Amino acid sequence: MKEIISPGQAAKMVRDGMSVMVGGFMVVGTPTAIVDAVVREGAKDLTLIVNDTGFPEQGVGKMVSADQLKKVIVSHIGTNKITGEKMNNKEIEVELVPQGTLAEQIRAGGSGLGGVLTPTGVGTVVQEGKRVINVDGQDYLLATPLRADVALLKAHKADRAGNLVFRRAARNFNPLMATAADLVIVEVEEVLEIGEIDPDEVVTPGIFVDYLVMGEVQQDG
C-alpha cells in the first residue's frame, strides 16, 4: 500500500541542491499541484531534468521564474522566454539535449546501462565535451545515463499498490522517469483499490512508486 500525501508534504521532500526530474510536455502530463507546492516551499539550487521549461506562469516555468534552478537539462526552452533570458545572463546553466537522446539517457539511467550511442549531434555544438565512438566507420556520441534524486510525475490513475495508468499523450516522459530516480512521487487524479485496474492497463508497476498525491483532473492528451 502506497502512502497518499499532500502536495505540500511532497514538496518538503525536495531539498536544496537536489536533482529533480519532472514529467510533462509543455505542461501536459506535468504534476502541477506538486510543482506549485515546490515553488511555495522555495527549494533552491535545483538541477531540473525535463523535456521543456513550460511557460513562465505554468508548470515548471514557475520554478524558473522563482529562481529555484541552478541548471536545466532540457530538450527545448523556446516556450519560456524567461529561461532564455536567465541563460543569456548566466543565471541558469542550460544543457540542451536532443529530445530523443534525452529520453534514451533517462531510459539508460533507469535500466542500469552505461549510456547509449547516438549519431544525433555529431559534428555540431552538441558534440562538445562528449566522447565520440566509431562503430563500423560511423561516429556516434556517447550519451551518458541520467538519474535524479527525486522524480515528480503525473498519472491518470493509480491503485493503492501504486500501479499507474496514464492518459494518452500525458504519458510522455513520465514512465521513463519513474525508473530513473531514487524517490518517485506521483500526482494522480484517482486512486482505486487493488484489483480495480486491469493489469493490461498498467504502464508503470507500483514497485517504482514511493508516494501518491491526489491532484486535480487535467484535460491532458
- Residue for grid cell 546553466: 93
Whether 153 and 177 have beta carbons less than 8 Å apart is answered as: yes
Phi, psi of 164 (to 5 degrees): -115, 140
Task: Give tens-digit pLDDT for 77-122.
Answer: 999 999 999 999 999 999 999 999 999 999 999 999 999 999 999 9
The DSSP code sequence of 112-162 is T-S-EEE-TTTTSGGGTT--EEEETTEEEEEE----EEEEEEEEEEEETT-
Task: Give tens-digit pLDDT for 141-163.
Answer: 999 999 999 999 999 999 999 99
For residue 217, pLDDT over 90 is answered with no
Task: Give tens-digit pLDDT for 133-142.
Answer: 999 999 999 9
Best CA proximity match to 10, nearest among 200, 188, 139: 188
Domains of the chain: 3-113+146-214 (3.40.1080.10)
Q: CA–CA distance from 118 to each of 45, 74, 193 (Å)?
A: 30, 17, 42
Phi, psi of 90 (to 5 degrees): 60, 30
